[in-house]
Amino acid sequence: MKLVLAIPSARLPRAPSFHIASAAPKVRVPFGSLLLEPRSLKKWLFIWTFCLYLAFCLGCFFAFEQPRLNHQSYFRFGADSPTYWDDVDYRSDHPGSGSSLVGFGTNLFGPVAIGTVLRSGLAVCLFNTVLFFIAVEIACTIPGVDRYRLLFLLMICSETAPALVTLNKEILVLFSVLLLAKYVYSERRSAFLLVPVLVASVLTRWEQVGIILLFLFLQRKGSVFQRNPRFAVASVVAALTVIYSLIAMIPGSGIAGFMAYTKGANTIAKLDAIQAHFGFPLVMAPKIILDLSGQLIRPVFFYNWLSAYGFTDIHSALIIPLFSMVLIPVLVIAYRKGKLNPRRPIALLIIIYLLVVAVTPFVQPRYNYFVYVLLALELAKKEEPEEELEFKEAAAPSPGWLAPGHAEGTGSY
């Protein structure tokens, strides 16, 4: 008799194995498309050109802004930079002054707060440059935006150079505008984007906050203003006409005081007088032209002013005229490309901004830097075929309307 003894099976432990993935994990590097992606020779040439442009801006800072800050010379390279730095110095010497930074027609809060924190012209220059690239990086996340075209359009604008190297509001305008465009083009609009837009706008001009809120009100989904953008524009014109005229009738208002001060002055004062009597629709077009062209529309006056004061005021003598010389062609190109169709959200925002700036009782072309940044973004954006078709269909006549003589419009019904 045989006995069988069963031996239980046992598995020896397997040596541990290590697996290394062949594909590297994807990590988003800030400004990675500028640093790491392969590109053509033309793009590399543009990058080096833009680096030279940044070097030029930095040279302007050391040639004009820094000597002025050191009280060695006086060159006004930035629009209101001397005013902001004077206010920063005054508040440092008189911390308990309690003077207001925000009032009717003025808002010094943003630049003065930045100057108070950074304390140095060079620190402000570096802060502005970093904010500029952050804004561009945010704008380039909008589908279809060409980074190189956007940078080129911003580079050829004369207002961008002082925005980068002086204490100013324009850099905050650029940041808030590109952030607002990102919010408008987002499929899901988030308060995470809207809040920084409103905060940056508060730091620039209080009018900008009102314009953005008005635009968002008119763009409410399903509202009559969104369905009929031309009606929205007409409503804005009517509201500005009535509100401005009523405020101008108040004796103690700022508008009434400004009109009394400029009584008997040049063209803008005459237009303001008409506007104060419910005439804004009549003077709207010429005031927009004045805001866009600045001194270019009065070359004789500009030449006499330049002969008297020279080029010490670089901003008024060179930067503002050059800005108008670039803004007007860019506006025409955008119009010819259909970018100013009010059915486009950004176009409606541009039109509203031009109207609100036109209603002010003075001419200030640099306020249209807001408009220029939006135009640059729109021209740098390559539209998808579906998006382009959507705007064309929206601009087409409604199915219930037929032109006279149309084949389907004749006969009996």
**Which DSSP string do the residues of 308-366 spell out, in sequence order?**
HHTTSSHIIIIIHHHHHHHHHHHHHHHHHTTTT-TTSHHHHHHHHHHHHHHHSSS--GG
**What percentage of the chain exceeds 90 in pLDDT?**
53
Query: What would the mean pLDDT of 1-20 be, rounded to a whole number?
Result: 60
DSSP state of 61: I
Query: What would the mean pLDDT of 1-18 be, rounded to a whole number?
Result: 60
Task: Give the model's pLDDT for residue 412.
Answer: 34
Does a structural domain hold residue 254?
Answer: yes
Distance separating alpha carbons of residues 150 and 144, to the nearest angstrom: 11
Query: What would the mean pLDDT of 94-101 be, rounded to a whole number?
Result: 67
User: What are the φ/ψ torsions at residue 103 (nearest 5 degrees)?
Assistant: -160, -170
Does a structural domain hold residue 291?
Answer: yes
DSSP state of 107: E
Does a structural domain hold residue 391?
Answer: no
User: 88: helix, coil or strand?
Assistant: helix
**What percentage of the chain exceeds 70 in pLDDT?**
78
Query: What would the mean pLDDT of 12-32 be, rounded to a whole number?
Result: 57
Query: What would the mean pLDDT of 132-141 be, rounded to a whole number?
Result: 95
Other CB atoms within 10 Å distance of the CB of residue 258: 18
- Joined tokens for residue 72: 């060695």
Sign of the four-CA dihedral 17, 18, 23, 28: positive
How sure is the predictor about 6, in pLDDT bands with cuts at 50, 70 and 90? low
Query: What would the mean pLDDT of 348-368 be, rounded to a whole number?
Result: 92
Does a structural domain hold residue 196?
Answer: yes
Does a structural domain hold residue 24?
Answer: no
DSSP state of 297: G
Does a structural domain hold residue 122?
Answer: yes
Does residue 4 register a pLDDT over 70? Answer: no
Q: Could you give the C-alpha distances from 66 to 11, 70, 85, 121, 311, in angstroms and in order?
A: 79, 6, 12, 7, 17
The mean pLDDT value of the chain amounts to 83
Distance separating alpha carbons of residues 151 and 167, to the nearest angstrom: 21
| R_g of the chain, CA atoms, integer Å | 28
User: 106: helix, coil or strand?
Assistant: strand
| Residue of higher predicted confidence among 83 and 152 | 152
Q: How many independent structural domains does the chain possess? A: 1
Which helix (DSSP H) or strand (DSSP E) does residue 19 occupy? none
Q: In terms of residue numbers, what domain contains 305?
A: 45-90+106-383
pLDDT for 273-318, tens place per residue?
899 899 999 999 999 999 999 888 888 778 887 887 788 889 989 9
The number of CA neighbours under 13 Å toward the Cβ of 55 is 6
Q: What is the dihedral of CA 258, 264, 266, 270, to 10 degrees?
A: 70
Does residue 347 register a pLDDT over 70? Answer: yes
pLDDT for 28-53, tens place per residue?
555 555 556 677 888 889 999 999 99
Least confident range from 139-153, 236-250, 291-305: namely 291-305
Does residue 192 register a pLDDT over 90? Answer: no
| Residue of higher predicted confidence among 85 and 187 | 85
How sure is the predictor about 230, in pLDDT bands with cuts at 50, 70 and 90? very high
Does a structural domain hold residue 259?
Answer: yes
Does a structural domain hold residue 208?
Answer: yes
Task: Give the model's pLDDT for residue 382.
Answer: 87
Distance separating alpha carbons of residues 240 and 209, to the nearest angstrom: 16
pLDDT for 369-405, tens place per residue?
999 999 999 999 987 655 555 555 555 544 444 444 4
Contact assessment for residue 121 and residue 167, using Cβ atoms and an 8 Å cutoff: yes
| Residue of higher predicted confidence among 106 and 399 | 106
User: What are the φ/ψ torsions at residue 366 (nearest 5 degrees)?
Assistant: -70, -15
**Full-model pTM:** 0.83
- Greatest Cα pair distance, the chain, in angstroms, is 135
